[in-house]
Amino acid sequence: MSISSPATREPILPWHRAAWQQLQAALRQRRLPHALLFCGIRGLGKRHLAEQFSQALLCTSPGPEGLACGECRSCHLVLAGSHPDRVVLGPDPAGKSEEIRVDVIRELIEDSSLTAHAGGYRVTLIDPADHMNLSAANSLLKTLEEPVADTLLILITAQPMRLPATLRSRCQHLLLHPPDEGSAVPWLQQQGLGVAEALLVLRLAGGAPLAGLALAQGEHLSQREDAFKGFLGARSRSADLVRIAEAWAKLDAGLLLSWLASWLHDLAVLQVGDGEARLTNPDKGAQLSPLSREIHPTELQRILGLVLRLLRLKDTSANWQMALEALLIDWAVAGQH
């Protein structure tokens, strides 16, 4: 499902409703700020909301909820990605660096000194805003000190603290929260997921529905399943630890370690008797439960410490497979005294 750029006519996502109403009220009362900072964890659809709102601002006949009509000339231009009063900035897809550089911001500033081409609003989206380097951010700050009427800048970021405090303080913040499971699971079901799978991917994605949906659609779950077999299998006497390490070494290191950390964390949750309701991996409760009784909590913490250490070493390790083998050897005998 492509839910972000280019702007679409999709309905407002249920967990965006309050934010949408807040934006619409500000627009009606003519107190829309010059700069908005959309923040919240990855996978909540911050970009989608920014796209929808910017299209609505430019639309010449918005509908009852303030949504863009999708049919006027302005909407056609937005949908084609060629509206002169709507600019989307991000890292150069062809560039080596993920940085948003100062020349891109300077170009934007020179361009925005002109008034809107169509006589209405002029909107700029910067996503992810935390990818601006310091000189780009400083350059942008200057424009916010002398804002032009009817211009709106939307900065989008999952990591607002990476932006200079001076820039953050010039923006009105709009923080998106993950919806509760009671409303996110039915939404995922509407996208075609079963209830158990919906709950699982939602937990794995830290509560972010779009990130959860992406997990369900990719190879993530099958890779996680294989890695989990190795995690359990390593505890049996006949385990071939070298083969498990070999398979693990082929996986994305950050992903593998985040799974390992979450399984170990769930073992600790089961040890303190919180039950399966609070597990990050609700599908693994039945298999983790007996294991949680086998391993001493101190040992569990020690292994978790080793996983976190590997997380710091993953990009510099000379022999990753051997590092994983060493972890597996520790894990295989953990708690067996």
The CB-based long-range contact list for 64-70 (8 Å cut-off, 24+ gap) reads 65/12, 65/20, 65/24, 66/20, 66/24, 66/27, 67/9, 67/11, 67/12, 68/7, 68/9, 70/9
Q: Does 72 bind Zn ion (CB under 5 A)?
A: yes
Q: How far is the CB of 69 from Zn ion (least distance, A)?
A: 4
Q: How far is the CB of 70 from Zn ion (least distance, A)?
A: 6
Query: Which stretch in 64-72, 239-247, 310-318, 325-333 sits in contact with Zn ion by CB under 5 A?
Result: 64-72
38 three-class SS: strand
Task: By CB under 5 A, name the one of 7, 37, 56, 75 that touches Zn ion.
Answer: 75
Q: How far is the CB of 83 from Zn ion (least distance, A)?
A: 11
Q: How far is the CB of 182 from Zn ion (least distance, A)?
A: 34
Nearer to Zn ion, 51 or 130 (CB): 51
On the CB side of 135, how many CA atoms lie within 13 Å of its CA?
6
Q: Which of residues 263-282 bind Zn ion (CB under 5 A)?
A: none
Q: Does 77 bind Zn ion (CB under 5 A)?
A: no
Task: By CB under 5 A, name the one of 7, 35, 59, 327 that touches Zn ion.
Answer: 59
Cα–Cα nearest to 216, from 187, 248, 246, 253: 187
Query: Which stretch in 65-73, 130-138, 208-216, 246-254 sits in contact with Zn ion by CB under 5 A?
Result: 65-73
Q: Does 41 bind Zn ion (CB under 5 A)?
A: no
88 three-class SS: strand
Q: How far is the CB of 79 from Zn ion (least distance, A)?
A: 9
User: What is the Cα–Cα distance from 39 to 162, expressed in whole angstroms?
Assistant: 12
- Dihedral over Cα of 86, 26, 9, 156: its sign: positive
Nearer to Zn ion, 59 or 152 (CB): 59
Site string for Zn ion, 107-126 (x = CB under 5 A): --------------------
Nearer to Zn ion, 77 or 251 (CB): 77
Residues with Cβ < 8 Å from 102, sequence gap 6 or more? 133, 135, 136, 139
Report the DSSP beta bridge partners of residue 123: 86, 152
User: What is the Cα–Cα distance from 70 to 18, expressed in whole angstroms?
Assistant: 22
Q: Are 87 and 54 in contact (CB under 8 A)?
A: no
Nearer to Zn ion, 50 or 334 (CB): 50
Q: How far is the CB of 67 from Zn ion (least distance, A)?
A: 9
On the CB side of 240, how many CA atoms lie within 13 Å of its CA?
4
Task: By CB under 5 A, name the one of 69, 87, 104, 268 that touches Zn ion.
Answer: 69
Q: How far is the CB of 15 from Zn ion (least distance, A)?
A: 24
Query: Which residues of this protein are in contact with Zn ion, per CB under 5 A?
Result: 59, 68-69, 72, 75
